[in-house]
Amino acid sequence: MLVNSTYMPSSHSSFERSKAFCISKSAKFVVVTTDRKQIHDDDSYSQFIHNLVTLYILVDIDQPLLAPTKERIDYLPHYDTLVKSGMYEYYASEGKNPLPFAFAELIDNALTATNENAGPRYIEVRMYFNDTPEKCMVCVLDNGRGMTSSELNNWAIYRLSKFSQRRQTDHEHEEPTRSQKRQAEEYPRFLNSDISYFGVGGKAAIFFIGQSARMISKSSTSADVHELSLSKEEFERREREKESIYKGYIHNRQAGDASHFTESDENIIKLLQEELGQESFTHVVITGIKPEHVQYLREDFNRWCTQLVHIYHYYLHGPEGNNLPRSNQTPSRANSPFRHINIVISHYNKGKLLQKRNLRDVDDDMQSKFLSTAAATFDFRARVEGDAVVEGSLRYHPFLYNKETYPLDNSNWRKYTLFSVFGDALRDDGSDDDGFQQEDRPARGNRPIFDCYWNGRLIPYTNVDEFDWCGVPKRMGNIPIQCYNRVSGVLWTNDKFQVSTNKLTFLDLGVRLKEKSTYFEKITSGQPQRSIHRKFSDWLRDCHERCDKQVLFQGFKECITRTDVAIKKHQYPWSVLKSIVWEGKQFTAGHWKTHSLYHIRPQVRTTRTNPIIYGTIKNFLLFGFHDGDVFATGGEMVLIQTFPLSRLDRAAGDRAMKKGMDEEEGKLPHLLLVKWPDGNEVKSGSKVPAGSVIGSVGDSRIVYHISQHNKLWAHWFHRIEVVRDVGSYSLVLQAVLGESGATKFAGKTLPNVRIKFTVIEGPPAKFSIGLMEGPCRIGVPFSIPLQLRDIFNHLCKPDMSLIPEVKANGLDLRWQGVESKNKLLYIKNVTASGKVLSTQDFNLKVTIRSLQDATQKLRVRMLPGAVHSIKVTEFSQGTSTLENGEALSLEVELLDEAGNPTVERGAKVTCKFIGRPGLPVYKSACSQSGTTQLTGKPILLKNMSKTSVKITAKVELEGSSSRVSAVEQMVEVVPGTTPHFINVRYKDKTGKEITLVDGEVIECTVGEAVSNLVFAIWDEGRRQLPLTPSLVDKITVNWQSKQDEELIRQGRLPDVKAPTKVDESKYCKIDVTEGQGLSFSFSV
């Protein structure tokens, strides 16, 4: 039995309470709270009654609930709503999708709830997707300690932070929890799971994701499940009806009890079945998911999973992070509380396979990339005034041969809030003070050094760039400047620093790290060391010399200006050097070496160039002034092209060489003449159509012949039948030297004839249909591009004389001739009409009868056209009749000019009522399906008489009154048939019947009773309603605890006994819960 504290005054004795609840004096029972805490004495009972706490009367403390019960709760806003109202709006994500941060808020709560688990900590984000948006659901499940009903009440209070929460029962005598016992212990990297702080994030996240939520929780101290529902729609209704907004009920039930759901709620019913056998849990069920979130969660599954891994990287992988070995062997995981955390994302998409991912298996988040590419680490600690502590770690990502190993951030989801702790704030436009773009800076570029974590959780929009001891020094030493950009880092802070309530930014980290009292120390094997500036420089130098695989430049010669460099400020200074050492091998700029009788220069070959060049290095170039040996990641070399030494005749003398050269010169031709004996002459600069015949001289590209020269006959090249390829050609007749093909001898050029001509496309012979912008729509003109080609498949110029024909089965097509545009022939303004489904494919056939290949086919997807008219199903049935106080419901459908149902982006329909002032306006979006159920607030006409009132309903497409005609229909509003008036009468001592007025005071003698009370209930049309059993069940009076239904069915009211003291009044009230509710009151 459920006991409401208003039923029984706390001053009654136990016997009186038993009698009031119809319990026999000999029966055994217990009185317990909804958390199954037994009440043993009257004082405790009085205290609970005073605090309006709901109680159970049970046979024993472990008795199962025979049916779901309701527990009245209050969850008024906490005062922090006013105190912290100046903080910037939650989810101020500056153009980025904030949905992963909303999930992070719910996961924060789950991490805190599971912190006391002795075994594994299991958190699951489960998503159910359906083609119907209303059935989409997001659940966040955990196996944490759960919540009692009072804790669930605390959760519902907005801005009730962890510092303000107090248990509402006798918790001060409970044993301390595991988390409380370990408060004084040191958590590595502050991974204490204490990240559910402000009493804001969970509720803000829920209503950012969807429209309503159901909190289901069970603690290990109770066998009952507590369930609380919050709905944006319900809040709006209460505000509209002037009801108390921050009140509701917690439903207490057995585990697995789904009697309060229907068969259509199959997903949540299955979820409730999972409650069986669980000792404690919390399930957050969010429904009414916003459409833009559904699309993002479906399409960007991997991206936002990676973002969550970045946020909880060290909770998932432990204080050392995902520092996996470089071998293929699976590492053994340490048995620590951090390794027990499993955060799983489940993706249930109707009709598709289950997609499930454990976030610990994701290895492409930025922290995993940093850890896998780091060659060395530098740990440090910052002590800030008070108890604030910052732990940090720097990582070095070396340059390996020809590339940087600093990982690229491809997530494209963060916008940095940068703090240069000991200097000016960095600019966020991708450039530094010298104007270098980010691609000009090696490795890290303009990305800040440190990601910042608070209690082990990433604060994504705050990043610290550098400290004075790890930044680029004003006076450079022997450490290259590139090394400072190969460093990444992480900062871990405890909860002594303030973060915004949305956990996106630190509020005071940058300021407090700048304070003079803040000091830094290097940590080696857990021991602090001073002189962090020198320690960092030594570490960075060691990383550079030990890990970087770079080039050593040696032998400075001079410093020059290079005019061949495009950017003027990069033209000077360039150092010229003699040699380099690269991967243990030395390369030296070319100089003559004597070897026997030959002079040899060392040669090199280039790689990844086109063509590959063999040559001798003239010198090496490096930007900057370097008057000594220097390491660098690259530079430039200048080559001198040479011939192979194998072509050098080493035995020939000067006299023999001169004689041989004279003899060879005498054999060379002096003049070359060209004739065209068969016609078809090709002149220089002429244009020849593809397929033309060239005369009895061949083209050097088409055919290549070598004929031996003889003074008795001429060279002869046969006719080439057809030249097919389009382009510029050179017909070259060249005298060459032997089979080597040399065109020069002893510095003299051999004679040649060169004829340049152009082969152009032939006349059109066939065509193809180009890429169309689709899909096409009924009644909307579109163009069909045609590519004309000659017989050799060359693209031809558009021919406006061609006449195309267009056909498609099932469609009526019209067009307006052809036009030429962008070297294509377009059939312009093709308009289709006919019946189509929401999406339907048609075979389009284009024919040009004058071409060799005359017909081409194309499959075209056709959609309904633009909105042309509005169809309202209810308006086809004549005048509509509506009862006053009811809402009109209309089924609206958008049609195109052919009568096909259609959709339009951003389409909204409105229904305006004309004929009476103050009538509501119905609005509904129908851009998804083209149909909508248009309804809204009830039609409430004041001062309705017994006759009906006619008004006009006008349905129109919002913003298109000139394009789409509105639809109007007469609506007849008749008086309501629900209870509207209560008439109460009684007879005084003289027998006169008196009609009472609502709120009237009846004067009566002390101790007497007001009797002969009768009543009647009228509807809005002043018609008396019969007192049916269903109506009688909804009539209550407050001066009698047990209702006499038979008396009320007769139209009579119980007698009212007057107070026992003079001038004391007794308030009497009659309530009717039928319809919108009705009440009548008077006082005695």
Euclidean distance between CA atoms 548 and 550, whole angstroms: 6
Helix axis angle for 301-311 and 366-373, nearest 10°, is 70
Output the six-digit token pair for 803.
């006449």
Kindly report the number of other CB atoms within 10 A of residue 709's CB atom.
12
Domain with CATH 3.30.230 in the chain: 363-547
**Sign of torsion over alpha carbons 110, 114, 115, 120:** negative
Residue 1031 CB contacts under 8 Å (≥ 6 apart), including other chains? 979, 1017, 1025, 1072, 1074
Would you state the CATH architecture of domain 80-171+179-321+335-358? 2-Layer Sandwich (3.30)
Contact (Cβ atoms closer than 8 angstroms) between residue 557 and residue 415: no
> Assign residue 268 a region: left if phi > 0, alpha if psi is -120 to 50, beta otherwise?
alpha
Which residues of the chain form CATH 2.60.40.10? 766-863
Whole-angstrom distance, CA of residue 1011 vs CA of residue 531: 96
User: Is the pLDDT assigned to residue 218 strictly greater than 90?
Assistant: yes
- Tell me what the mean pLDDT of segment 402-429 comes to: 52
Residue 199 CB-density burial (10 A; 0-12 exposed, 13-18 middle, 19+ buried): buried
Whether residue 521 is predicted with pLDDT greater than 90 in this model: the reply is yes
Report the relative pairing of strands 121-129 and 137-142 from DSSP bridges: antiparallel
Q: Hey, what amino acid is at 462?
A: T
- Evaluate whether 125 touches 140 at the Cβ level (below 8 Å): yes
The predicted structure's pLDDT at residue 155: 82
Write out pLDDT tens, residues 793-833.
888 888 888 889 999 988 888 988 899 888 899 999 999 99
| Whether the predicted pLDDT of 2 surpasses 80 | no
Quickly state the pLDDT bin for 293 (edges 50, 70, 90): confident
Instruction: Write down the pLDDT at residue 990.
Output: 79
Rounded Cα distance, 892 and 952, in Å: 16
pLDDT band, very low/low/confident/very high, at 436 (cuts 50, 70, 90): very low
The DSSP code for 530 is S
Mean pLDDT to the nearest integer, 420-448 = 47
The pair of structure tokens assigned to 622 is 């490096």
Buried b (16+ CB within 10 A) or exposed e, 501-514: bbbbbbeebbebbe
582 vs 550: CA distance, rounded Å: 7
Terminal-residue alpha carbon distance, the chain:
33
Domain 766-863 is of which CATH architecture? Sandwich (2.60)
pLDDT reported for residue 910: 92
Residue carrying the six token digits 């402000």: 198
Is pLDDT above 80 for 370?
A: yes
Selected residue with higher pLDDT from 1006 and 609 = 1006
pLDDT score recorded for residue 87? 39
Please say whether the dihedral angle defined by the alpha carbons of residues 1020, 1022, 1027 and 1032, taken in this order, is positive or negative.
positive
Q: What is the CATH number of domain 363-547?
A: 3.30.230
CA–CA distance, 391 with 393 (Å, rounded to integer): 7
Instruction: Report residue 160 CA to chain centroid gap.
Output: 29
CA-to-CA dists, residue 269 to 219, 255, 263, 273, angstroms: 20, 12, 8, 6
Token pair in block for residue 155: 């959760």
Please list the residue range(s) of the chain that carry CATH number 2.60.40.1930: 869-974
CA 201 – CA 205 distance, rounded (Å): 6
Q: Is 777 helix (H, G, I), strand (E, B) or coil?
A: strand
Q: Are 901 and 781 in contact (CB under 8 A)?
A: no
Distances, alpha carbon 330 to alpha carbons 193, 322, 324, 340, 361, in Å: 27, 12, 8, 17, 12
Instruction: Check whether 726 has a pLDDT greater than 70.
Output: yes
Residue with the larger pLDDT of the pair 163 and 1049: 1049
| pLDDT given at position 613 | 56
Q: What's the pLDDT band for 441 if we cut at 50, 70, 90? A: very low
Q: Taking residues 69-75, report their average pLDDT.
A: 76
User: How large is the average pLDDT for residues 60-80?
Assistant: 75
Alpha carbons within 13 angstroms on the beta-carbon side of residue 204 total 20
Q: By the 8 A CB rule, do 437 and 430 touch? A: yes
Please tell me which residue, 492 or 735, carries the higher pLDDT value. 492
Residue 596: the pLDDT is 40
Tens digit of each residue's pLDDT (9 = 90 or more) over 450-464: 999 999 999 998 889
Can you tell me which residue has the tokens 């001066």? 1039
Position with higher pLDDT, 1070 vs 421:
1070
Mean of per-residue pLDDT scores for the chain? 79
Residue % of the chain over a pLDDT of 70: 78
Among 360-364, 437-441, 567-571, 903-907, the least confident range:
437-441
Contact 725, 689 (CB under 8 A): no
CATH topology of domain 869-974: Immunoglobulin-like (2.60.40)
Residue-wise pLDDT tens digits, 855-880: 999 888 888 888 888 888 877 777 78
930: pLDDT strictly greater than 50:
yes
> pLDDT-derived band of residue 79, with 50, 70 and 90 as boundaries?
very low
Q: Are 138 and 201 in contact (CB under 8 A)?
A: no
Q: pTM for the whole thing?
A: 0.51
Q: What is the pLDDT of residues 664-721, one digit of tens each?
A: 566 667 777 777 766 667 788 888 887 777 665 433 333 344 455 555 555 555 555 5
Closest CA to 36 of 191, 223, 174: 223
pLDDT (tens digit per residue) in 629-658: 887 766 787 764 433 323 333 344 456 545
Is pLDDT at 65 greater than 90 in this prediction? Answer: no
The phi, psi pair for 911, rounded to 5°, reads -125, 115
pLDDT for 391:
95
By DSSP bridging, strand 418-420 and strand 457-466 are parallel
Q: Does the structure show a pLDDT above 70 at 955?
A: yes
Task: Specify whether the backbone of 954 is left (phi greater than 0), alpha (psi in -120 to 50) or beta.
Answer: beta
Order of strands, sheet of 450-454, starting from the edge strand that comes earlier in the sequence: 418-420, 457-466, 450-454, 487-493, 389-396, 376-383, 519-524, 527-529
Grade residue 614 by pLDDT with cuts at 50, 70 and 90.
Answer: low
